[in-house]
């Protein structure tokens, strides 16, 4: 079955450490997205990519970086510059701008 | 002004009742909407899409769109405890914006 796989499900980061969240899709979607969700809050867009080797910043891109070397993969790196990274991270994809999102199951990141 | 306004709730209904979730929107150019459901601690899931005035039914769910009054609704008939979740109304043209949605609790 097609879908989006995020890993790991839980991730712990030490102060000053960079960590990378994985997102893989086999839906053949061109567009992929990263959102962050804090408790009781809505989703906030971090980065998105509409095509391989191209990506754009969202509303809260500071302290994050992405790459899109393959259509299927859109990893997110949370750098040490992100001072408050504890949150639920959601990767999504869609067929085009007028289609609904398919979300992965998320990665819960905690700073220890 | 936010493009879409939803009552954040929480909305509580007894099991078997009709739950009514409502959104109003400000952009008259918005032609269609998605409804997502998000269970606590889980990722959102697309459950309905409506693009024309009137009702769209899918099982126990009915989406309603009224372009003249600029509101969109989701009705859940015969509500079940498993329907307890947050429901998000998202305009098709601006899916970058996800509000906090409406939290629904169905009481057994």
Ramachandran area for residue B101 (φ above 0: left; ψ -120 to 50: alpha; else beta): left
Instruction: Provide the 3-class DSSP secondary structure of residue B82.
Output: helix
In chain B, the residue whose alpha carbon lies closest to the alpha carbon of A47 is B96
| Angle A53-A58-A81 from CA coordinates, rounded to 5° | 90
A61 touches A45 (CB < 8 A): no
In chain B, the residue whose alpha carbon lies closest to the alpha carbon of A90 is B43
Q: Which residues in chain B are contacts of A43 at CB distance < 8 A?
A: 44, 98
Burial of A111 (0-12, 13-18, 19+ CB in 10 A): middle
C-alpha dist (Å) from residue B107 to A9, A95, B8, B97, B104: 30, 37, 18, 30, 10
Confidence label for A1 from pLDDT (cuts 50, 70 and 90) = low
Confidence label for B67 from pLDDT (cuts 50, 70 and 90) = confident
Q: Which residues in chain B are contacts of A97 at CB distance < 8 A?
A: 95
The set of residues, in sequence order, having a beta carbon less than 8 Å from that of B69 and lying 6+ positions away, is none
Q: Is the peptide bond before B50 cis (omega within 30 degrees of 0)?
A: no
pLDDT tens-digit series, residues A72-99: 999 999 999 998 999 999 999 999 878 8
Q: How close A40 comes to chain B (CA, Å)?
A: 7
Q: Which residues in chain A are contacts of B41 at CB distance < 8 A?
A: 88
* Average pLDDT, integer, range A51-75: 97
| Angle A97-A50-A3 from CA coordinates, rounded to 5° | 80
Confidence label for A3 from pLDDT (cuts 50, 70 and 90) = very high
- Cβ A42–B46 below 8 Å, yes or no? no
Q: Which residues in chain B are contacts of A100 at CB distance < 8 A?
A: 34, 36, 46, 49, 95
pLDDT above 70 covers what percent of chain B?
Answer: 96
């Amino acid at each position: 079955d097609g879908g989006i796989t995020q890993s790991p499900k839980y991730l712990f980061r030490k102060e000053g450490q960079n960590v990378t969240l994985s997102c893989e899709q086999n839906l053949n979607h061109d567009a992929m997205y990263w959102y962050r969700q804090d408790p009781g809050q809505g989703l906030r867009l971090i980065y998105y990519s509409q095509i391989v080797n191209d990506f754009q910043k969202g509303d809260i891109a500071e302290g994050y970086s992405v790459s899109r070397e393959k259509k299927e993969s859109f990893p997110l790196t949370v750098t040490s510059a992100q001072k408050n990274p504890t949150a639920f991270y959601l990767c999504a994809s869609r067929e085009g701008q007028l289609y609904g999102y398919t979300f992965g199951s998320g990665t819960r990141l905690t700073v220890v | 002004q936010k493009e879409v306004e939803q009552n954040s709730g929480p909305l509580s209904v007894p099991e078997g009742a009709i739950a009514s979730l409502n959104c109003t929107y400000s952009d008259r150019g918005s032609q269609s909407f998605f409804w997502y459901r998000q269970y606590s601690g889980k990722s959102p899931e697309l459950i309905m899409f409506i693009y024309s005035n009137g009702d769209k039914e899918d099982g126990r769910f009915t989406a309603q769109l009224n372009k003249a009054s600029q509101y969109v609704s989701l009705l859940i008939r015969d509500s079940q405890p498993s329907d307890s979740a947050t429901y998000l109304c998202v305009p098709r043209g601006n899916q970058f914006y996800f509000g906090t949605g409406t939290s629904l609790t169905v009481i057994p």
